[in-house]
Amino acid sequence: MAATIVEKIFSSRCGREVHAGEVVMAPLDGAMIHDITGPLAIRVFREMGGEEVFDPARVTMLFDHQIPADSIPAAENQADMREFAREQGILNYDIREGVCHQVMVEKGRVAPGEIVVGADSHTCMYGAVGAFATGIGSTDMGFALKFGALYFRVPESIHLEVHGAFSPRVGAKDLILEITGDIGADGATYQALEFSGESVHRLSMAERMTCCNMAIEMGGKTGIVPPDEVTWSYIKDRRGVSPFPLASDPGARYNEKRSYDVSQLAPKVAVPHNVDQVVDVGRVAGTPIDQVFIGSCTNGRYEDLALVAEVLGDRSFSDRVRVIIIPASRDEYLKSLRAGLIERFVTAGGLVEAPCCGPCMGGAFGLLAPGETSLSTSNRNFRGRQGSTEAEVYLCSPATAAASAIKGEITDPREV
């Protein structure tokens, strides 16, 4: 019977043919916890009688949300997690490497065909390398840490066919915002979003991560790109995995199919206070902004920062705007540093921070005051997400963020 890539991954890992809609206990190839979700997962693990995690080599710990620790409770949680990592022999990247999702992929902690879970909703980003990756709650993670397996309902899939060529300064973030606005905040609930088409195959790994990262914003269980030459080229120096065919069969059954032509795509903006409230940038151009945040697991990679620098040119950021720029990982920071981007941003008036989540969750720094407006390359703009519940957050691409930071108001990047 013809199968989707997600059905094939579950069939392979479960050792038998399974189909969408079935409930299975699937073995896990990897599990990730971070400084916010980790403490509760560890507590649940202990309450279940856990003494040793299922496989220390397949568990990864990262600190990225409140680092360096910004409160005594955060410091205490992180100290407890460090002790647990030492006790269990878990790979602990601590505060050194950056945002958990970026680090998991770039360090080869996930590979095509694997099932990986993380105690964070944007774990779905790992589907960019052809894995089934999904976020789970801390209670489920406590179970996963002990048993190395988890119950899943194998998700149905939505096929997204993307064709055409992007116009200058229009890219993957604009595409995924367009798709989110089209499908809606709950239009893909518990379904896999499968990205396909010649335009997807032309996307870099960074751009694929941007698309898969936001599958959860439509209620999706995961986003996934079938592995191709781009995937295997990216994986070869990170994991000792030889290329193998992994793709949906012709005739595979999908819940629905949608098609997008990016040649007609304009820069997009998600307006407050929901990610699926998406408009062309022209609809909100001229809106004054107080802060621009460029970074996060969605758009904090070197390619994103290079685009910001291209738009910026030899100009400066507006004095009316606080511009916070955060590379997604130490590797991405170093690439940007060696390319001269960091110095360029600082000279232009930006504040460049060490790799972390930063303002994305409004937990550590960069919070908004009542009445303030933020333009952000991150993935969520819910009320109170980046500070006051009386503030507003707009979402956009790195190009739009850069143009707007120069002008001090939301700006079409094609006009700078």
Q: Which residues pair with 284 in a beta bridge?
A: none
Q: What pLDDT sits at residue 384?
A: 78
58: number of Cβ within 10 Å: 18
Contact residues for 18 (Cβ-Cβ < 8 A; gap 6+): 7, 10, 11, 24, 154
| Structural contact between residues 62 and 103, judged by C-beta atoms closer than 8 angstroms | yes
Q: Please tell me whether residues 232 and 274 are part of one structural domain.
A: no
Residue 74 maps to which CATH number? 3.30.499.10
Computed over every residue of the chain, the mean pLDDT equals 95
Q: What is the pLDDT of residues 33-68, one digit of tens each?
A: 998 999 999 999 999 999 999 999 999 999 988 888
Please report, for residues 262, 297, 414, the alpha-carbon distance to residue 237 in angstroms, rounded to integers and kept in the order given.
31, 21, 36
Question: Strands of 30-34's sheet, edge to edge?
Answer: 91-92, 59-62, 30-34, 115-118, 132-135
Q: Please tell me whether residues 37 and 167 are part of one structural domain.
A: yes
DSSP 241: -
Q: CA 316 to CA 345: how far, in whole Å?
A: 8
Phi first, then psi: give them for residue 135, nearest 5 degrees: -85, 145
Does residue 196 carry a pLDDT above 80? Answer: yes
The answer as to whether 248 is a domain residue is no
Q: Please tell me whether residues 105 and 187 are part of one structural domain.
A: yes
The answer as to whether 244 is a domain residue is no
Q: What is the pLDDT of residues 99-110, one digit of tens each?
A: 999 999 999 999
Q: Please tell me whether residues 85 and 179 are part of one structural domain.
A: yes
Last residue of a domain, one of 214, 245, 261: 261
Residue 184 falls in which region: left (phi positive, over 0), alpha (psi -120 to 50) or beta: left
Q: Please tell me whether residues 321 and 376 are part of one structural domain.
A: yes
Q: CA 73 to CA 79: how far, in whole Å?
A: 10
Q: CA 106 to CA 128: how far, in whole Å?
A: 11
The two three-digit tokens of residue 304, written as one number: 């994103």
Q: Which residues pair with 341 in a beta bridge?
A: none
Q: What is the pLDDT of residues 279-319, one digit of tens each?
A: 999 999 999 999 999 999 999 999 999 999 999 999 999 99
The two three-digit tokens of residue 280, written as one number: 């062309």
Q: What pLDDT sits at residue 60?
A: 96
Containing H/E element for 27? strand 23-27
The two three-digit tokens of residue 289, written as one number: 């902004």
Residue 386 falls in which region: left (phi positive, over 0), alpha (psi -120 to 50) or beta: alpha
Contact residues for 338 (Cβ-Cβ < 8 A; gap 6+): none
Q: What pLDDT sits at residue 180?
A: 97
- Read off the amino acid at residue 346: V
Contact residues for 263 (Cβ-Cβ < 8 A; gap 6+): 164, 165, 166, 167
Q: Please tell me whether residues 220 and 292 are part of one structural domain.
A: no
| Structural contact between residues 62 and 34, judged by C-beta atoms closer than 8 angstroms | yes
Q: What pLDDT sits at residue 365?
A: 85
The answer as to whether 375 is a domain residue is yes
Contact residues for 76 (Cβ-Cβ < 8 A; gap 6+): none
Q: Please tell me whether residues 82 and 215 are part of one structural domain.
A: yes
* Domain enclosing residue 303, as ranges: 267-415
Q: CA 267 to CA 285: how far, in whole Å?
A: 11
Q: Please tell me whether residues 17 and 149 are part of one structural domain.
A: yes
Does residue 414 carry a pLDDT above 90? Answer: yes
The answer as to whether 226 is a domain residue is yes
Q: What pLDDT sits at residue 16?
A: 95
The answer as to whether 313 is a domain residue is yes
Q: What is the pTM of this model?
A: 0.93
361 or 22, which is more confident = 22
What is the total count of domains within the chain? 2
What's the residue count for the chain? 416
